[in-house]
Chain A
Amino acid sequence: MKHSFIDKYSELNSLMHKLDPRVKLIMVFLGIVAMVSETPGNIYPFVFYGAVILTLILLSRIPPGFVLKRLFFVSPFIIMAALFYPASLMLAGEYKFVNPQAEAINIGLSIFLKAGMSIILLIWLISTEKFHALLHGLRKLRMPRLIGIISALMYRYVFILADESLKTTRARDSRSPGKLKMNRIKVYSNQMAMIFLRSWERSKTIYDSMLSRGFTGDFKDMKELELKRNDILISVLIVLVFLSIRVFIEPGA
C-alpha cells in the first residue's frame, strides 16, 4: 500500500529541494532557535520571520494551501498552549495585568506565532526533502549512532506496520459494526496489543535476515552527500537573515 503521508511534495524540483539535507536541517534548527528565543510578548519581529518563511515556501513551490492545511491540524495544540499562559496566570491570580485584555492577547499571540512559525518551518523541511534523506543527513550530522540505527529500522517498518494497523482496523470494524458502546477500551487495546505482537514476532526474522546479508551494526547509506557551493551560500544567507532579525529588530520597533 502506498503511504504519502510522510513526505508529500518532497519530489518537486526546486532550488530548495536541491539543497543538501544537512544544510536544511541546520537552517531550520537555527531559524527555530532565533524565533523561539524572542522576548515573550514581542510580536513585531514575526512580521519579518513570516516574510522569510513565505519566501522559502514560494521558492520551494509547495502549495501554500497545503502548508496551511497541515498547520490547521496541529493548531488546536498550539492555540491551547497560547491560551494556557494568560489563563494560568489569571486562574491563580498571580499576575495583575494593567490592561488585562491587551496584555493577555499579546502574550498568547507571541506564543502562538513562535510555535506556529516553527511548525511551518518543519512542514517546509519535510516537504522539500525525502524523509530517509533527512535521516541520512541527521546521521551525517553525528546524531547518536544508536538513534541512527533505530530510526533507519523504524523507517523501514513503519509502512509495514501501518498496513498491519489498517488490516486490524478493518478486522475490528467488521467484527463490531456501528458504534462501540461497551468494551471500547478493551477492543482498541487488543488491537494495539496485536500490532505489538506481530511486530515482536517479526523482529526475530528480520534480525536473522539482516545477519544473513552481512549486517554489522551499520547501515550502508545511500550515495554520499556532497556539499556544493550553492548549498553553503544559500544556507548562510538564510541563517544570517534569521539571526539579523533576531538581533537587530527591536521589540515594538
Chain B
Amino acid sequence: MHIADGIIDTNICMAANVASVAIIYLTGKNTPMEEIPRMGITGAALFVASLIHIPFAGTSIHPGLIGIAGIILGKRAFPVIFTVLLFQSLIFQHGGLLSVGINSLNMGAGAYVAWIIWKQQRIPEYVRAMAGGFAGIIIPVLLMTFEFQLSGYGKGIIFLFSVYLIVATIEGGMAFFVVRFFRNIKSDILS
C-alpha cells in the first residue's frame, strides 16, 4: 500500500508533503511532553508489528495496524504515522522519500476515520473496533485510487484495487482481537 517515488504525479507528491507538514503542526502543537515518549514507542511498536508476516492463501500479508494507531493515539496518530513511514522508506525502501507525504495523508486519513468510528459510543465496542480496522485500510485505498486517477491511471484501477477488500476485512478481524486483548488485559490503553 506504500506508493513508491515515480508512481504518482510529482506535483501531487510535493503538495502532499506541504500538506503533511501543516497537519503535523496542527495535530502536534501543544503536545504534552509526557505524551511524546508514548508516541515514539508506539511508533516503534507499529514499525516492528508491521514486520510480522501472516501466512495467507499461499502468500503472506503484513498488518498495517493503521486503525489500531487511530484508536490508541487519536489525533496524535498523524505525526507517528508520518515518522513510521519515513523510517520504512529509508530503511526498507517501502514507499519513497518524495512520497512520504502522500502515503502519510492516505494512512493518516484511515487512522482518523478509525478514531472517529471508535468515538461513537452508541455502537458496540467490538463492532467499532472491526469497523475501525477495516476503515484503516479501505480509506487509504480509496484515496490511492483517486490519486492514481489524477495521475492519469484509468478507471480500471478501481477493479485492481478491489483486491484490498480482502486485506481490509482481515485487518478488521485483527483490530477486533487486538481490542479484545487490550480490554481483557489492560483496558486503560483504550480510554
A interface with B by C-beta (< 8 Å):
5-7, 28-29, 32-33, 35-37, 40, 70, 74, 77-78, 81, 84-85, 87-92, 94-95, 111, 113-115, 117-119, 122-123, 125-126, 131, 134, 144, 146-147, 149-154, 156-158, 160-162, 164-165, 169, 179-180, 184-186, 188-197, 199-203, 206-207, 210, 217
Contacts and interface: CB of A to CB of B under 8 A. Distances in A.
A147 B96 contact: no
Given A40-B152, A126-B90, A184 B55 contact: yes
B24 A87 contact: no
Contacts of B39: 150, 153
A217 B160 CA distance: 45
Contacts of B89: 122
User: Which of B98, B148, B156 has the most CB atoms of chain A within a 10 A radius of its CB?
Assistant: B156
Interface string B68-88: 100010000001101110110
Interface SS of A by simple majority: helix
Interface SS of B by simple majority: helix
B44 interface: yes
Nearest to A89: B154
User: Which of A118, A169, A179 has the most CB atoms of chain B within a 10 A radius of its CB?
Assistant: A118
B44 A161 contact: yes
B177 interface: yes
Interface extent on B, as a size class? 35 or more
B143 interface: no
B36 interface: yes
Contacts of A160: 44
Contact of A196 (B13, B24, B42): B42
A165 B176 CA distance: 20
B98 A197 contact: no
A111 B6 contact: yes
The 3 A-B residue pairs with the shortest CB-CB distance, nearest first, are: A153-B40, A114-B6, A91-B156
Contact of B36 (A114, A115, A149): A149
Interface string B136-168: 000000000000100011111101100000000
A81 B181 contact: no
A84 B154 CA distance: 9
B40 A149 contact: yes
Given A91-B159, A161-B45, A188-B174, A131 B91 contact: yes
A192 B83 contact: no
